[in-house]
Amino acid sequence: MLKLPRTIRLDPSDTFVFERAAEPGEWAVSGAFVFWNRDPAALAQKQRVALRSGFLGIDSLGWSTLAIVTEATDAERQSMIERLAGQLQEKFGAPDADAARLAAEEEVAFAASLCDHAPQTLLAVQRSVEGGEIRERFRTLKPRPAAAEADRLHAHTSAFTFHEVEGDAEPVEEVDLLGLIGKRTDRT
């Protein structure tokens, strides 16, 4: 079974932290090549965030903090390669279509190698520049097993739950604002 990463957005934070956020559901690659031969110190803040922790959506060339392992067809993989090759030639100056396609095939193969997990596994990347080289470390977050005999809504309940207990009286807090104001004016 072929699996490839897609961008995913669990909250709107990507739209704030990246210069351009990837659209949810785009096919994704690592994207480290975007920073090849660039001085990290010369990058703007949002570009540094993308360097440290972004997956590149190949359609928008936007960034996503997370990617999700997704089943794919060979036709989707081929389409992904063609789209990325086009982007490499148009936006990144690949010398010709053959060089762009070869680079895109390598990027997609690497992306596929990250997906040796069950579908729906989340992927995160952490990059650093060490000795002038970009190092990537990838982490996974897998869905928890469903709780036994739980309905769909509660199958993956959190570690903590909150319950209202009838009959317990909550302590009443009273604040004397006028008294606080009076104390403040007495000091001035």
Buried b (16+ CB within 10 A) or exposed e, 132-154: eebeeeeeeeeeeeeeeeeeeee
DSSP 21: B
| One-letter amino acid for residue 113 of the chain | S
Tokens standing for residue 43? 């990058």
Give the pLDDT confidence score for residue 145 in this predicted structure.
67
Domain ranges of the chain: 3-141
Residue 24, burial from CB neighbour count under 10 angstroms (0-12, 13-18, 19+)? middle
Contact 187, 180 (CB under 8 A): no
Q: Which residues are 27's β-sheet partners?
A: 6
d(CA 9, CA 11): 6
Give the pLDDT confidence score for residue 144 in this predicted structure.
65
Give the pLDDT confidence score for residue 4 in this predicted structure.
98
pLDDT < 50 positions in the chain: 159-168, 170, 184-188
Give the model confidence (pLDDT) of 74-123 as tens digits: 999 999 999 999 999 999 999 999 999 999 999 999 999 999 999 999 99
- What's the pTM value of the predicted model, to 2 decimals? 0.76
Tokens standing for residue 139? 């982490």
Give the pLDDT confidence score for residue 111 in this predicted structure.
98
Give the pLDDT confidence score for residue 167 in this predicted structure.
46
* Cα angle 152-153-155, degrees, rounded to a multiple of 5: 60
Residues near 122 by beta carbon (within 8 Å), at least 6 away in sequence: 8, 66, 67, 68, 69, 140, 141, 142
Give the pLDDT confidence score for residue 141 in this predicted structure.
84
